[in-house]
A and B are shown apart, each in its own frame.
Chain A
Amino acid sequence: MNASWFRLVWLGLMQWSRWYVILFVVIVLSVPIVNFLDGFSTTAYRDNLDVYADMLNSPLTLVFPLAAVFVGCTRFYQEVGNRYISNVRMRVNIRSYISAKHFGSVAATFAVFFLFAFIPFVFSFYLWPALGNPSVDPSVYGMTVGEAQLDSLQRLTFSALLGSGTVVYGVVYAAWVGAVAAIYVSLGFAALILMRNRVLAMAVPFLVYFVQTIAAALLGFPQVALMYAVFPFGLQQFSAVWAIAPTAAILLVCVVGWIGIHRRMLDLETLT
């Protein structure tokens, strides 16, 4: 890594920020809040964790990898399709170019989806109490405020982190969501390089996520479903290992794929 590599990353980020991607990012970031505001008046929440869960438990969870791939891989999708890379490799080392592009996309996606989880966190844990906590009433569930707080530690996967402080939970969970999105983007990137059918390559992370989630639910292990690994709302609390293990398997596939790509980068047909 040298100055020119960082320049490539910077240029990649500049190219990434097209108007339609920015528009899509704005829509993605607003989905949790819109989803919450649409239905909060008819719901009673135990505490602010319930508010947060309701915000993130939007239909976007069903197509989470698709949204991540659209944010992170659209520019590369166009470059591969229009043979832009064929021209670029005459001027730039292809390994540097691809690694810079990959790094830039993964970093941008991580940032977007970190905010996707962190903005609702700030909204539900800081802004909503400042507004008087409308619809938050633990007595509906036969609980006091203290009991609801204790219960929140055992309610969801990762919510035990609330014991270490609200900010710790918010930052760690948002980082987890961002990291998972980054892994899907990395998988989509690898698929775009390895497969000739670009649309199929863009759909691969989504298909893996969707089919694995159904299969895990049908086999009676919903806790290992990729969807519940990142959005564990609606399930009882499980150890974080159950959430991390399936995602780590995807990461492993990604790493193996990228090792293969780096070893054969000069011969790959999609990059020539």
Chain B
Amino acid sequence: MKFLVSVFRQSGWACGLGVLAFGYGLYCRQLIVSGSSSSTSVGFWDVVLETVGNPQFIIFVLLAAWLLHAILRGGQETAPQRLLRLGTYRKVLAAGTDQASWHLVGMAVVIILAIVVAAYGLPLVSAPSSGLGPQTVSGAFSTVGVPASVASIWQVLQLGLALLVVRVTFTAIRIHVQKPAIEAALAILIWLWAATSTIGLFDKNSPLNAGLYFQAVSAVAQPAAYAGAVLTMGLIGALAMVAALAADARRTKLWRLHVSPAGLQALAVLVVLSLTMQISIPKESSLFGSISFALQGNSGTIVQYLLSTLVFPGYALVFALGQQESTGSWRAVTLIREGSFGGMLRKVAAREFRRALVYLLFVLLVATAAYFVLGGRDVSLPPQGLGIWTYQFFINGLGQLSFYLLLVYAAEVAFGTRLAALISIGLVVVLSPPNIAVGRWLPVQQSAMSLASGGWEAVLPATASLLLAGVSIAVALGLRIRKRHIVI
């Protein structure tokens, strides 16, 4: 029913686009028929795919029309009566997305019908797909074995998703700004960006290349950049949702940012680890090699070191930002509940061990997922590979995380302020870059995947120094707590 209502309401837009699509279909049909040799067959799906994947058709017809539609029809989304009926901006965004999806479906059906009519006059031969050259969209897909029919559906879905993201962005901006001039300026900017991209202003692998967002064929030609574009679209959608939630919070006078430190850390690890995998896969093709390379730590380049710092001391920083049990009134409450400092420490330690294990699994999972998304397929392990990973992640890694957690906890207890945790993490970062003399005494110097490159000789002293430093801090903390116990 929604679909029929949508088609009826959008009939003017749909008819106009249908006529243009029909024209483009005829043009593309003529283009590929004249461009192909007499021995190759041009199928019906080839014409559909060439038309819906044509960058000029996408940018100059579909995107331009959709942006115009967003400006002209979008005002209704935030009309006062609609806001009153829906109650929150979150619901406004959800309803706007839902409505835009049905508009897209309605238009898509008419456009595809028009292209089908344009393509149907071709002499269909036995093979539905063709032997077109790789310079055509159909030919590019056929080189990786994707039939033109599947590729057409993929292209339509991707285009729909990209246009939906554009519309959601407009709705989110309208919720905050409600100024038609800004929407118009944004629409012009988006269109100019896409149009200049089709004339080759940006490199094909650049994240600014609009083709990555609107053309499914990019998945064949630039798989890594395409994965990045899909991720970016997801992030834009998530940001639009955050913008709507922020508008709700502001409206209800709850103007404060609810940023979860753990969420921030997970996001930072996700983004940075994925990017590092992008450079490690060409160097080390196997799953084991590329993950070991990415998490090389101090024995690698400055980028590898920074990633390792983010993964390990960064986690301790997040712990310091989130936990409340080392200082202040919450500490007193926890103390009363647990009965003693020892009990409280045992509880904190048990909980943090569990979390650290889950976090290490998360890191491993993100790295593995990034490996597969970026096109890696070699899962073979070298001899003792499983043992090396188990040791690095769950003994050395867990030891490192425990050491840093203990360090920030001890700093907070010793100085009585949570700011001490921030300073202690800063100190660890300052003292541990590669080639700094004093850094060799810090366990982070031997962090990450040393075993994969340096062997047991490098790793065992690192684990031993971790244990020694951890025990020393624990003893110092115990003495300090005992002293405080008497005072309290």
Contacts and interface: CB of A to CB of B under 8 A. Distances in A.
Interface string A211-232: 1011101110000000000000
Contacts of A195: 256-257, 259
A218 B257 contact: no
A51 B303 CA distance: 25
A259 interface: no
Contacts of B310: 210-211, 214
Nearest to B301: A217
B256 A269 contact: yes
B433 A200 contact: no
A211 B272 contact: yes
A59 B430 contact: yes
Contact of A197 (B255, B261, B309): B261
B175 to A, nearest CB: 16
A268 B268 CA distance: 28
A264 B253 CA distance: 10
Contact of B422 (A60, A203, A217): A203
A199 B418 contact: yes
Contacts of A218: 272, 275-276, 278-279, 303
A77 interface: yes
Contacts of A214: 272, 275, 303, 306-307, 310
Interface string A80-103: 000000000000000000000000
Contacts of A198: 418
B132 interface: no
B437 interface: yes
B297 to A, nearest CB: 13
A211 B271 contact: yes
Interface string B260-294: 01001000100110011011000000000000000
Interface stretch (A66-74, A154-162, A241-249): A66-74
Interface string A260-272: 0000100111100
Interface in B383-426: 418-419, 421-423, 426
Nearest to B205: A220
Contacts of A211: 268, 271-272, 310
A185 interface: no
B321 interface: yes
A77 B272 CA distance: 30
A137 B431 CA distance: 30
Nearest to A65: B426
Given A211-B271, A217-B303, A219-B275, A197 B259 contact: yes
Contact of B423 (A70, A217, A219): A70
Interface size classification for chain A: 20 to 34
A269 B303 contact: no
Given A59-B431, A62-B433, A199-B320, A264 B272 contact: no
B317 interface: yes
Contacts of B278: 218
A268 B255 contact: yes
A33 interface: no
Interface in B305-328: 306-307, 309-310, 317, 320-321
Contacts of B264: 200, 207
Contacts of A267: 253, 255
A207 to B, nearest CB: 7
A206 B261 CA distance: 14
B275 A62 contact: no
A17 B259 CA distance: 31
Given A199-B321, A210-B306, A214-B310, A194 B257 contact: yes
Interface residues of B, number: 36
B contact face: mostly helix, strand, loop, or mixed: helix
Given A207-B268, A211-B268, A211-B271, A202 B256 contact: no
A63 interface: yes
A7 interface: no
B429 interface: yes
A226 B418 CA distance: 27
B177 interface: no
B125 to A, nearest CB: 46
Given A195-B257, A269-B256, A203 B272 contact: no
Residue from B278, B419, B437 with most neighbouring chain A CB atoms (10 Å): B419
Contact of B321 (A62, A66, A200): A200
A196 B302 CA distance: 33
Given A59-B431, A63-B430, A38 B256 contact: no
B487 interface: no
B436 interface: yes
Nearest to B274: A218
Given A194-B257, A197-B259, A215-B272, A203 B317 contact: yes
Contacts of B303: 214, 217-218
Nearest to A196: B256
Nearest to A203: B422
Given A59-B433, A63-B429, A214-B310, A199 B275 contact: no
User: Which of A202, A207, A270 is most buried by chain B, counting CB atoms within 10 A of its CB?
Assistant: A207
A70 to B, nearest CB: 7
Contacts of B272: 211, 214-215, 218
Contacts of A268: 255
A264 B271 CA distance: 33
Interface of B: 207, 253, 255-257, 259, 261, 264, 268, 271-272, 275-276, 278-279, 302-303, 306-307, 309-310, 317, 320-321, 418-419, 421-423, 426, 429-431, 433, 436-437
24 contacts: A59-B430, A59-B431, A59-B436, A63-B430, A70-B426, A194-B256, A195-B256, A195-B257, A196-B256, A197-B259, A197-B321, A199-B320, A199-B321, A200-B259, A200-B264, A210-B309, A210-B310, A211-B268, A211-B271, A211-B310, A214-B306, A215-B272, A219-B207, A219-B275
Given A70-B423, A215-B275, A217-B306, 20 more contacts: A38-B437, A59-B430, A60-B430, A62-B430, A63-B426, A194-B257, A197-B321, A199-B320, A199-B418, A203-B317, A207-B264, A211-B268, A214-B275, A214-B303, A215-B272, A218-B278, A219-B207, A264-B255, A267-B255, A269-B256
